[in-house]
């Protein structure tokens, strides 16, 4: 199998991991606090680790990691039905990894896929167990239908945070040096925290988080990446500042101000990184 064909298969795997991460996080936020939600969030973190390993492999082979999201299973009106969809998602992943392991003849790539497959097989059993618990314990969707200004602000923030998580991860894999790579990944983790805070706040305020992203910057040149990252951080900091002033909820004001301060910190980090770039 040619290198380009291997990269194509690995990017399909990345897209599947991306879909699983978001599908599982949607379920976590919708369920609210609880043991099962915590366990599913841990599984989502394992899928994030898989995505990182796969993206590293693609980059090492001279490819560009795909940040297109694969198909998600979003039907179902009960927690039990969501868990059954997650079982099916893991069955899809298991089948795909088994096929890719057979097709790829590069030893270290096969070894990586076999490692990931082991996790997916474990997740499959976990979700089957969660489906039983959800049915037995009568777990319910905790989301509401709030659609006022507060909900719009929170969903805008969720969209932004999701977008920059993807953007900073992509930029980390394309970074020309280890310092930029590490900083971009650190800030992506921070933005993922923001997404979680906002989604949880949305549910606690009777809303329905919409986890979708807008266009991400796909520059290849490091200075162009950092300019795009600085620009988006300045823009979003201004929006968070405005929203914090306009909303009446004191706890939400505090959260938006905290996130705004983080975004301004990112501007400084990216500005300092620009000084280290030699292209």
CA distance linking residue 74 with residue 86, whole number of Å: 10
For residue 277, the model assigns a pLDDT of: 83
Please state the φ and ψ torsions of residue 242, each to the nearest 5 degrees.
Answer: -65, -45
Question: 220 in helix, strand or coil?
Answer: coil
For residue 135, the model assigns a pLDDT of: 87
Write down the pTM of the prediction: 0.95
- Of the CA atoms within 13 Å of residue 193, those in its CB half-sphere come to 12
Lookup result for tokens 């004001």: 253
For residue 33, the model assigns a pLDDT of: 86
146 within 8 A of 208, measured Cβ to Cβ: yes
**Ranges of residues in the chain whose predicted pLDDT is under 50:** none
Structure-block tokens of residue 173: 């894999």
Distances, alpha carbon 174 to alpha carbons 64, 178, 222, in Å: 8, 10, 8
Instruction: Quote the crossing angle between the two packed helices 79-103 and 3-31, to the nearest 10°.
Output: 170
Query: What is the H or E stretch that residue 34 is in?
Result: none
CA distance linking residue 131 with residue 115, whole number of Å: 25
Going from N- to C-terminal start, the domains of the chain cover: 3-137, 149-274
For residue 108, the model assigns a pLDDT of: 96
Structure-block tokens of residue 10: 């690995």
Distances, alpha carbon 52 to alpha carbons 35, 147, 202, 207, in Å: 26, 35, 28, 31
Q: What is the CATH number of domain 3-137?
A: 1.20.1260.10
pLDDT tens-digit series, residues 194-211: 999 999 999 999 999 999
- Domain 149-274: which CATH class? mainly alpha
Answer whether 3-137 and 149-274 agree in fold. yes
For residue 279, the model assigns a pLDDT of: 61
């Amino acid at each position: 199998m040619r290198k380009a064909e291997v990269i194509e298969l690995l990017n399909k795997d990345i897209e599947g991991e991306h879909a699983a991460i978001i599908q599982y996080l949607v379920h976590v936020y919708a369920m609210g606090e609880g043991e099962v939600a915590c366990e599913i969030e841990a599984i989502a973190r394992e899928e994030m680790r898989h995505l990182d390993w796969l993206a590293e492999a693609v980059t090492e082979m001279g490819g560009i990691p795909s940040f297109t999201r694969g198909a998600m299973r979003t039907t179902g009106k009960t927690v039990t039905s969501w868990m059954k969809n997650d079982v099916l998602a893991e069955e899809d992943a298991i089948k795909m990894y088994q096929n890719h392991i057979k097709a790829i003849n590069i030893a270290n790539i096969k070894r990586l896929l076999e490692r990931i497959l082991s996790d997916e097989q474990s997740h499959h059993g976990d979700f089957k167990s969660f489906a039983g618990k959800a049915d037995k314990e009568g777990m319910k969707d905790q989301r509401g239908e709030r659609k006022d200004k507060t909900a719009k602000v929170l969903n805008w923030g969720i969209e932004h945070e999701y977008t920059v998580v993807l953007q900073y991860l992509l930029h980390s894999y394309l970074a020309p040096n280890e310092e930029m790579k590490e900083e971009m990944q650190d800030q992506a983790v921070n933005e993922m925290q923001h997404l979680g805070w906002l989604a949880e706040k949305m549910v606690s305020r009777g809303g329905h988080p919409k986890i979708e992203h807008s266009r991400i910057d796909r520059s290849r040149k490091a200075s162009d990446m950092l300019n795009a990252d600085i620009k988006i951080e300045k823009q979003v900091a201004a929006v968070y500042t405005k929203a914090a002033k306009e909303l009446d909820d004191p706890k939400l004001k505090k959260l938006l101000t905290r996130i705004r301060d983080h975004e301004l910190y990112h501007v400084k980090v990216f500005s300092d990184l620009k000084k280290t770039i030699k292209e």
